[in-house]
Amino acid sequence: MKKLLFPKAIAHSVYDLDPGRLAERGIKAVISDLDDTLTPYYHTAPNEKLCAWLAELKKQGIRVFILSNGKKRRVKPLCDALGVECIAMAMKPLPFSYLRVFRRLGLKREEVVYVGDQIFTDILGGNLSGLHTILVEPIAYKQSKREIKKRELEKPYRRVAEGKA
Ligand SMILES: [Mg+2]
């Protein structure tokens, strides 16, 4: 079980994932979380840096699919503005929506990476689905008691993944 909580790789942010290098590695699709992975949870419009990164992925022939636990009324307009396909209310970490996207892509597992900022949803679900999971640091997160507690619980796993524990 514990193994499922560790990402296969870590990165500071999605911008460390160089589209050219991904393409060289044979990656053909990036499945990604939305809030705090690609954009802060409070942003409702795309930012330039993100658009440039997505455009570069596209140029390299890498498809992008967003998988979010957020409500459709938040996720869909933003993904439409970004020009990427999405599934809202994905019920991560359950593997169903990951597998739905994976089947839809029609690719091999080694041609797909999953990126997210949370261990107990993003990484667990990605690992359960047999995808190559990459953990990034959250861009921001709600300073609510529940959210802070959740991030606290993630810390030991994050530290091990970072090679610091
Ligand atoms: Mg997130």
- Tens of pLDDT along 58-115? 999 999 999 999 999 999 999 999 999 999 999 999 999 999 999 999 999 999 999 9
Concatenated DSSP letters for the chain? -GGGGS-SEEESSGGGS-HHHHHHTT--EEEE--BTTTB-TT--S--HHHHHHHHHHHHTT-EEEEE-SS-HHHHHHHHHHHT-EEESS--TTSSHHHHHHHHHHT--GGGEEEEES-IIIIIHHHHHTT-EEEEE--S-----HHHHHHHHHHHHHHHHHTT--
Residue type, 63: R
Residue type, 14: V
Residue 165, C-beta contacts closer than 8 angstroms, at least 6 positions apart: 156, 159
* Residue found by looking up tokens 């942010």 in the block: 13
Ligand 1 centroid to Cα of residue 106, in Å, is 25
pLDDT band at 1 (very low <50, low <70, confident <90, very high): low
Over residues 122-148, the mean pLDDT reads 94
Over residues 116-124, the mean pLDDT reads 97
Residues around ion ligand 1, judged by CB within 5 A, are: 33, 35-37, 117
Ligand 1 centroid to Cα of residue 34, in Å, is 6
Residue 162 pLDDT > 80, yes or no? yes
Residue 165 pLDDT > 70, yes or no? no
Ligand 1 centroid to Cα of residue 141, in Å, is 8
CA distances from 64 to 104, 123, 150 (A): 12, 17, 27
The answer to whether residues 136 and 154 touch, using CB atoms and an 8 Å cutoff, is no
Ligand 1 centroid to Cα of residue 36, in Å, is 5
pLDDT, residue 107, reads 97
Tell me the CATH number of domain 2-161, given options 1.10.40.50, 3.90.550.10, 1.20.1250.20, 3.40.50.1000: 3.40.50.1000
Residue type, 67: L
Ligand 1 centroid to Cα of residue 92, in Å, is 10
64-96 core/surface letters (b: 16 or more CB in 10 A; e: else) = bbbbbbbeeeebbebbeebebbbbbebebbebe
Ligand 1 centroid to Cα of residue 135, in Å, is 10
